[in-house]
Amino acid sequence: MTSPRTRLVAAAALAAALTATAPALATPALAAPSAASAQHAARAIPFTAATAAQQADGSFTLTWTAPGARHVTVYAGTDPEHVAHRRAVASGAGSATVTVSGLGAADRWYFELVPDRGAPLVVADRSLHLASAPNFRDLGGYRTADGRWVKLGQVYRSDDLSKLTDQDLAKLHRLGIRTVFDLRTPAEQQAAPDRLPAGAKAVTANVLGAADTGQFDVTSPQAAVDVMVLGERTMVSADSARAAYAQLLDAADDRGAVLFHCTAGKDRTGWGAAALLTALGVPQETVRADYLASNTYRAQANAAVLAQLPPAYQAVYRPLLDVRPEYLAAGFDEVRARYGSFDAYLEGLGVDAKQLRRNLLVG
């Protein structure tokens, strides 16, 4: 019988080798809102959904839903903390989809959605569109179950950083990335050393707790799926994994942007992202969508890998390149089996969830 660490190392070996809430209570119909609740409503962010997506031609598609708002004005800027209101770039109703074009080159564009009722919200395309690291993206911009939003530009996730260009590094420096957590093994680090933005602190947080990913073989698609499921469980249970994720979550605050990554940015990084978003109160369906987005961001790279394999092997190895709902579900199942609840898991890691939310949420 293989040990938990062996299962985790095996899962990473295969992937790395290929990729080298409660209902609201009713209130009396005639009860007038208090002054405090009225002030809170005026300050609350009314958006229940909002996204920004950069298109191939450089334009941006913005979509939002703000129940209770009749009109939303959009402003654009390159600093999420200071978006000037000199000229609106778009506007729409409380629920709308608009296109913004002609903004020009910038490290990153942010859009402030200003409703006629309630507080504004800043959104941006999560992807940094780095050809050298296609799975490099922001963990911000997600709405929590209680109506707050994860800050943009504070925590990023990525795949291998060894191919970053000088231009990429300059951009990441300007975006304020100050700490980079490398979740890989020493052998992976040696084979593909990180390229880091100037001034960034490198932190090794080896999830596997092994010197190398080792070797492991699978002979069928189901065997590959089983290995990935077991590996996900071990990311919760292994001592090395707990230590790595405790270190990562403790550093995710508002003192400077944090980046964490592994080789493909989907398994070890995927669980780290899922754990952080869950700790912040992001709904499970949103956490799952962020996890599964690696399939989209890595589609081209994965297709190139499979194209190099004989047809008979493609079905066997595809599960190792994918992320799948059952993989992530296995991690959360392991949390329940080992700890009883996700809150208990965070306590076991020594993570202060309340402080994490104070640091990384707005609204």
Q: Across-strand partners of 112? A: 75, 122
Element containing residue 177 per DSSP (H, E): strand 177-182
- Helix 342-349 to helix 239-251 angle, to the nearest 10 degrees? 90
Judge whether 73 and 91 are in contact, CB under 8 Å: yes
Q: How far is CA 175 from CA 83, 138, 272, in A?
A: 15, 11, 21
Distance of alpha carbon 127 from the chain centroid: 10
126 is catalytic: no
Rounded to 5°, the CA angle 162-163-168 comes to: 110
Least Cα distance to 149 among 283, 267, 264, 244 occurs for: 283
* Catalytic hit among 128, 262, 276, 305: 262
- Sequence-distant (≥ 6) Cβ neighbours of residue 358 within 8 angstroms: none
Burial of 44 (0-12, 13-18, 19+ CB in 10 A): middle
Q: Which residue has the tokens 């990384």?
A: 360
Q: How many helices (H) and strands (E) does the chain have?
A: 13, 14
In 3-state terms, what secondary structure has residue 229?
Answer: helix
Strand order in the sheet with 49-54: 49-54, 60-65, 95-100
Token duo for residue 363: 């609204």
Q: Which residues are catalytic?
A: 262
